[in-house]
Chain A
């Protein structure tokens, strides 16, 4: 099991880091969105507002020809009404509407975390034949295998867990930190990997529906997820009241608890006589991301179809909810964040330990292994953090009233800096760690400064005004800068001390 743990870790470590890092950030995707889309830094939404009055006029104007309108209701984390639709020129488009004034908030020109970091987490933005999904799935299975083999490889788990010697030789401390993070978050890592895989069971096991659904997957989705569909009539008809549909939904879900209310309305074929509206039930107060849906006729407002989550689909959606953590629970959200960071630290220390044990030996024998793994590790840890920070900085630097390519430019900044970090790692090898750690300090501080300069929301003001998302983001960036500086200092101190410490150490290499 030891060699399995070692090799699976070395081969999958970089990929796992990318998935863990973006997943950890996605825990706070809505908060990052507020930081990156300053126009949506609004106060908590009012309890009562009218979709008919606030949303429909805007939708008819900006998304007249769109086949589907997605209207997501505001929450404390996402205080604007969100309108998503497909624009023939711009592609997938998201607009925000202020639920107090009903104003259409100007185009924010940014994908934010929900449309860049979060999709990267499960698709790596590799669209071709969903290869990204399969790579992430492989990483997920690999992670489960690594956890199991890790428990076997580190037989004295309990003892190792209580052993942390940060002042010892760097290699020793690295392994201690690996064990500490691995054991501390072990249940979380098992849960998050397994639930992540279960979300995409249809992608990973297409064979599951093959024999039972000869008519195709759409039928499965209709039965399991209540996906209703009907063709356009190609005759115009005005749309019925969305507000009355919301009211009806609350009444019909009364048996599902006092807080059962819609969180999203999807209007299909708006303006057509065959328009229909799918009303989805919120899961803000429950773990299971239910698939309770009501379908109303778009023209008459009459109920066409209703769907309730079946028991086993409920279990699958429970795992989904466990992974997505979209319900209202701040303590848990922070714990998820900590668990994710533990995962990142565990993976990178594992890689560092492997490299540290081989760096000199491989260099002596002219082997490429350690050098190659080191530059890939640099790119997938400090390099990825730099890329993320470049994404944030680009967001604050690019001119605001930009055209639709602005959001894509932010994405390019991410990939460009990532590539540069990889090249830098390949050239500078061991020295790259220090360089990139100090670069992180500079990048993170400038992101905070740029947020202040471009929006005026400096830390004191955001804390005072209760803009927790913005304040939290700035604070976390500063914490990141501080931690990076500490680590950079620690590794630069470690180097000259190594020979002295080694004298008293029995196993030079293990």
Chain B
């Protein structure tokens, strides 16, 4: 006979699941979107791709990245990691955007 779980335990479990879902779907999406944006920038600046091609490639890879993030979020046992990784991704993506965008503008101005 299994022990009946207490109310507190049940609620903690529910909150943990809600947090995981939010981190996986919401956090994963925001993180992917940030990395897709900065990825397109990197592909143009470092990869030398025309910007329309960079945007398309980066966005297509975004779907794969998002899927991997989602699956990982539901297999990783530690909840804090599931929350921390997307946060790190968003920070990285935003930072890259912040640093690289001026470089792109400069290059556009001198016409390569």
Mark interface residues in A140-175 (1 if CB within 8 Å of B CB, else 0). 010011001100000000000000000000000000
Q: Which of A75-83, A210-218, A244-252, A322-330 is found at the contact surface with chain B? A: A210-218
Contact A208 B70 (CB under 8 A): no
Neighbour of A207 across the interface among B36, B53, B63, CB < 8 A: B36
Which of A's residues lie within 8 Å of B, judged by CB? 1, 4, 141, 144-145, 148-149, 194, 197-198, 201-202, 204-213, 220, 223-224, 310-313, 315-316, 319
- The answer for the CA separation of A212 and B100 in the assembled complex, in Å, is 10
Chain B interface mostly? helix
Known: A210-B37, A224-B55. A1 touches B70 (CB 8 A): no
Given contacts A201-B60, A211-B41, A211-B97, contact A145 B67 (CB under 8 A): yes
Q: Which of B4-12, B44-52, B77-85 participates in binding chain A? A: B44-52
Extra A-B contacts (5), CB below 8 Å, given A212-B40, A310-B52:
A141-B70, A211-B97, A211-B101, A223-B50, A223-B51
Q: Is the CB of B40 within 8 A of A144?
A: no
Whole-angstrom distance between the Cβ of A108 and the nearest chain B Cβ: 37
Number of A-B contacts (CB under 8 A): 94
- Candidate in A194, A206, A211, A319 with the most chain B CB atoms within 10 angstroms: A211
Given A1-B75, A198-B60, A212-B51, also A207-B101 (CB < 8 A):
no
- Which B residues, 4 to 51, have Cβ-Cβ distances below 8 Å to chain A? 32-34, 36-38, 40-41, 44, 49-51
Task: Provide the bound-state CA to CA distance between A127 and B81, in Å.
Answer: 37
Residue of A nearest to B98 (CB): A211
Q: List 26 A-B contacts (CB under 8 A).
A: A1-B74, A141-B67, A145-B67, A149-B71, A149-B74, A197-B63, A198-B60, A198-B63, A201-B56, A205-B33, A206-B33, A207-B33, A208-B56, A208-B59, A209-B55, A210-B37, A211-B41, A211-B100, A213-B51, A223-B50, A310-B52, A310-B53, A313-B56, A315-B56, A315-B60, A319-B60
Question: In the complex, which residue of chain A has the Cβ closest to the Cβ of B33?
Answer: A207
Q: Do A224 and B52 have beta carbons less than 8 Å apart?
A: yes
Q: Which residues of B contact A211 (CB under 8 A)?
A: 37-38, 40-41, 97, 100-101, 104
In Å, the complex CA distance between A493 and B37 comes to 57
Of all chain A residues, which has the CB nearest B55?
A208
B60 touches A316 (CB 8 A): yes
- When distances are taken between beta carbons in the complex, the residues of chain B under 8 Å from A145 are 67, 70-71, 74
CA distance A311 to B62 in the complex (A): 18
Least CB distance from B35 to A in Å reads 9
- Chain B interfacial residues counted at CB < 8 A: 33
In the bound complex, residues from chain B placing their C-beta under 8 Å from that of A209 are 40, 55
A268 nearest CB across to chain B (Å): 22
- Closest Cβ of chain A to B21, distance in Å, is 9
Interface residues of chain B, those whose CB is within 8 Å of chain A, are: 32-34, 36-38, 40-41, 44, 49-60, 62-63, 66-67, 70-71, 74-75, 97, 100-101, 104
Known contacts A198-B60, A205-B36, A212-B40: A4-B74 contact under CB 8 Å: yes
For residue A321, give the distance in angstroms from its CB to the closest CB of chain B.
14
Contacts of A212 in B (CB 8 A): 40-41, 44, 51, 54-55, 104
| Pairwise interchain contact B52-A208, C-beta atoms closer than 8 A | no
Distance A213 CA – B64 CA, assembled complex (angstroms): 23
- B61 CB → nearest A CB, Å: 10
How far apart are the CA atoms of A141 and B74 in the complex, in Å? 14
Given contact pairs A212-B55, A224-B56, A201 touches B71 in the complex (Cβ within 8 A): no
The 5 A-B pairs at the shortest CB distance, nearest first, are namely A223-B52, A201-B59, A224-B52, A207-B37, A207-B33
Knowing A145-B67, A201-B62, A212-B41, say if A207 contacts B51 (CB, 8 Å): no
- How far apart sit A315 and B36, CA to CA, in the bound complex (Å)? 17
Chain A residues with CB under 8 Å of B40's CB are 208-209, 211-212
User: With the chains together, A232 CA to B51 CA distance in Å?
Assistant: 29
Residues A220 and B37 in contact in the complex (CB < 8 Å), given A141-B66, A208-B62, A211-B104: no
Known: A4-B74, A141-B66, A201-B62. A312 touches B36 (CB 8 A): no
A135 to chain B, nearest CB (A): 13
A141, A148, A207: the one within 8 Å of B34 (CB): A207
Q: Is the CB of A202 within 8 A of B59?
A: yes
Chain A contacts for B50, CB-based, 8 A: 223, 310
Give the residues in chain A near B60, CB-CB below 8 Å: 198, 201, 315-316, 319
In the complex, the answer to whether A194 meets B63 with C-beta atoms within 8 Å is yes
Contact A208 B37 (CB under 8 A): yes
| A122: min CB distance to chain B, Å | 15
Q: Roughly how many angstroms separate A206 CA and B53 CA in the complex, as a whole number?
A: 15
Task: With A211-B97, A212-B104 as known contacts, state yes or no: A220 contacts B55, CB within 8 Å.
Answer: yes
Residues in B whose Cβ lies below 8 Å from that of A224: 52-53, 55-56
A144 touches B67 (CB 8 A): yes
Give the complex CA separation of A141 and B50 in angstroms: 29
Which residues on the A side are within 8 Å of B44 (C-beta)? Answer: 212
CB A154 to nearest CB in B, in angstroms, measures 16
CB-nearest residue of chain A relative to B39? Answer: A208
